[in-house]
């Protein structure tokens, strides 16, 4: 069982007086009733509501934050702050948004601040890297905590001498993927789409604009590759970029015939895929954004099995 599921399960059992085994049985029954369309963590929250237990504003560790939770309450240390961005709303008003990464001893999470009063704490220098903060009434979306005008965001006196600066990696079956997690999975490529190409600014890595090309900015041709992977429990779309596309053997960017051959030869091959699970906004389904891919080393696997 995953650590965060186990901890929430224990909390729910203690608060409700229902044994963990019985709660697990209800979770699996709920998932079966919904044809597996809900994760164990999601089903656990449904069971909690049915038992009259709410985790709203109960102080949690960052690793215990689950997708879909509302009014989450936690503290942590600021690891990084992205530049504040401004935008124009549909009503023509100017808005601001900023992303910060906060960590405790268990994990880390991205906070998205939309309220100008919260953002002012950053602008005034009260909240900066290394400062401890407290969050109340935040909402979990896509593995991020979003804070609006009804949320609370303030400096905390709590100390965090040791924090998790890297996102914990969970080795998981695809059927147990949850949005917002960083996972490692062993799976076969069962479908491969035609790679898409774009010219990327060598300095920023982003798609180069016509203005940048005209000004002489250096750029190179890069690729985006969509595949479907399957580990026997479920399948999911996986998205790979440039160097990781090459690691799958897709290198013939300029030769359409050879490119098609390389793509077709990929089918049925098995790899380790590591990355972040995100929700595709168009299909409204989870997908794996891959940032590491490796071939299966059978010799190493045999050694691990023998141990």
Q: List C-alpha distances in Å: 163 to 79, 98, 128, 130.
A: 9, 22, 16, 11
pLDDT of residue 154: 96
Instruction: Pick out the chain residues at pLDDT < 50.
Output: 1
pLDDT of residue 44: 85
Topology agreement, domain 56-164 and domain 169-306: yes
- Choose among 264, 106, 276: nearest CA to 178: 276
pTM: 0.62
> Whats the size of the chain, residue-wise?
307
Give the number of other CB atoms < 10 A from CB of residue 44: 24
Class of domain 169-306: mainly beta
pLDDT of residue 1: 41
Contact assessment for residue 161 and residue 130, using Cβ atoms and an 8 Å cutoff: no
97 three-class SS: strand
Q: Where are the domains of the chain?
A: 1-54, 56-164, 169-306
H/E stretch holding 86 reads strand 85-88
Class of domain 56-164: mainly beta
Helices and strands, counts by H and E, the chain? 8, 14
pLDDT of residue 36: 63
Instruction: Show Cβ contacts of residue 77 under 8 Å, excluding neighbours closer than 6 positions.
Output: 102, 103, 104, 130, 131, 132, 133, 160, 163
């Amino acid at each position: 069982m995953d650590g965060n599921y186990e901890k929430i399960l224990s909390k729910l059992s203690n608060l409700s007086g229902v044994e963990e085994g019985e709660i697990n049985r209800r979770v699996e029954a709920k998932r079966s009733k919904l044809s597996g369309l809900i994760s164990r963590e999601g089903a656990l929250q449904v069971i909690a509501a049915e038992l009259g237990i709410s985790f709203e504003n109960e102080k949690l560790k960052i690793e215990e934050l689950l997708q879909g939770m509302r009014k989450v309450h936690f503290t942590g240390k600021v690891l990084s702050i992205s530049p504040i961005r401004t935008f124009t709303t549909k009503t023509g008003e100017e808005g601001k948004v900023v992303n910060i990464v906060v960590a405790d001893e268990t994990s880390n999470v991205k906070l998205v601040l939309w309220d100008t009063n919260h953002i002012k704490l950053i602008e005034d220098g009260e909240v900066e890297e290394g400062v401890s903060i407290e969050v109340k009434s935040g909402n979990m979306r896509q593995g991020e905590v979003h804070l609006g005008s009804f949320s609370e965001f303030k400096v905390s006196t709590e100390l965090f001498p040791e924090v998790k600066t890297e996102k914990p990696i969970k080795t998981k079956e695809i059927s147990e993927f949850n949005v917002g997690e960083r996972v490692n999975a062993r799976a076969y490529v069962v479908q491969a789409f035609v790679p898409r190409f774009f010219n990327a600014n060598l300095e920023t890595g982003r798609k180069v604009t016509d203005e940048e090309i005209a000004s002489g900015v250096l750029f190179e041709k890069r690729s985006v590759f969509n595949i479907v992977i399957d580990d026997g429990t479920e399948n999911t779309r996986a998205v790979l970029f440039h160097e990781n596309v090459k690691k799958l053997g897709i290198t013939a960017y300029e030769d359409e015939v050879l490119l098609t051959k390389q793509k077709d030869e990929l089918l049925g091959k098995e790899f380790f895929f590591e990355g972040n699970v995100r929700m595709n906004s168009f299909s409204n389904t989870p997908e794996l954004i891959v940032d590491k891919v490796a071939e299966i080393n059978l010799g190493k696997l045999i050694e691990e099995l023998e141990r």
